[in-house]
Amino acid sequence: MSVAVKSWEALGTSVHVLTTDPHQVAAAEAAVREILQEVDAACSRFRDDSELSRLNASNGRAVEASPLLACAIATALRAARVTNGAVDPTIGAALGAAGYDDDFSQIAADRGPITLHAGPVPGWQAIRFDEASRSVALPAGVELDLGSTGKALAADLAASAAHTATAAGGVLVSLGGDLATAGIPPDGGWRVLIAEDSRVEPDREGPVICLRGGGVATSSTTVRRWRRGGAVLHHIIDPATGLPTTGPWRTATVVARTCVDANIAATAAIVLADAAVDWLKTRNLPARLVENDGTIHSIGPWPDPKGITA
């Protein structure tokens, strides 16, 4: 079965939309573009006019969030809850202090040394959120970053919207390497190349898994990184220290029921360090962990590289 693909840039990353029916790819693209514009307007940390920026500047006042921002906050709080705080949305100020204070394309150049202070982030329990009224209040100084779960949520929403727009067949949406699917997959499943960098072309040599539903997400310390005063920093913050993680894994890929769940688990695996293996096994989540020296570990029901299927 042939698959049609449309690609472009949005949310500071690459977007790929795949449909099993080539005639439906334009409709799918339009639906995805609309969702991504709404997510950007609601959840961007780098747009002064975004809802999230206004919330982060609300100085302790309660704000009524839009349904989309409320959903993103609920998703981020769930991530914190199910990971016991390993994935915490109150890392916004820590990310900014580490130098990630602008669109990533603007921070790549070394702008000189910075001083980092170790200390726990405020913690998700500091967020006052009522899901029914969509009222949210952050203590003064607390900044949310929804970049991790927000991107995965956008992928899930976009895949659902694209599937609705196409009416039949299957859809896959990739946002910077976080993948969500909807509908009927191609024969044999969606063929996904597993890499450490989402910019690797899918026809390159490497491990390929076949996905028949759900989502895949990869978190890595090797791609979104920058230099300050000669030191290399990256964007995955350990909420316990407020600093970029320093654990044994440089990349984690997880398959789950949704892209959000896959993303939560992949990010948690990087933060949890050695404890990640048992944590993933307990949840029966297929995962692939790459050590800092390149050693690869297949966790739980991750497909056996020798068990080739057509």
3 binds other proteins (CB under 8 A): yes
Query: Residue count at the site for other proteins (CB under 8 A)?
Result: 102
Residues 6+ apart with CB under 8 A from 103: 12, 46
Q: For other proteins, which stretch binds (CB under 8 A), given 24-32, 44-52, 109-117, 210-218?
A: 210-218
Question: How far is residue 250's CA from residue 26's CA, in Å, rounded to a whole number?
Answer: 36
DSSP-derived secondary structure letter, 125: G
DSSP letter, residue 184: P
Residue 97 touching other proteins (CB under 8 A): no
- Which C-beta is closer to other proteins: that of 130 or that of 229? 130
Among 170, 183, 251, 277, binds other proteins (CB under 8 A): 251
Exposure of 145 by Cβ count < 10 A (0-12 exposed, 13-18 middle, 19+ buried)?
buried
Q: Is 50 in the site for other proteins (CB under 8 A)?
A: no
Q: What is the largest CA-CA distance in the chain?
A: 57
**Cα→Cα distances 300→215, 270, 288, 289, 297, Å:** 16, 16, 9, 11, 10
Residue 293 interacts with other proteins (CB under 8 A)? no
d(CA 224, CA 235): 6
Helices 259-272 and 147-166 sit at what angle, rounded to 10 degrees?
Answer: 160
Binds other proteins by CB under 8 A, chosen from 178, 245, 247, 272: 178
Among positions 99-138, residues that touch other proteins (CB under 8 A) are 123-134
Residues 257-276 that bind other proteins (CB under 8 A): 257-261, 264-265
232 belongs to the binding site for other proteins (CB under 8 A): no
**Selected binder of other proteins within 36, 80, 107, 276 (CB under 8 A):** 80
Closer residue to other proteins (CB): 98 or 280: 280
State the number of CA atoms in the 13 A half-sphere of 88 facing the CB.
28
78 lies in the site for other proteins, by CB under 8 A: yes
Our CB check for other proteins shows the closer of 67 and 115 to be: 67
Of positions 77, 86, 107, 277, contacts other proteins by CB under 8 A: 77
Report phi then psi at 279, rounded to 5. Answer: -60, -45
Q: How far is the CB of 113 from other proteins (least distance, A)?
A: 26
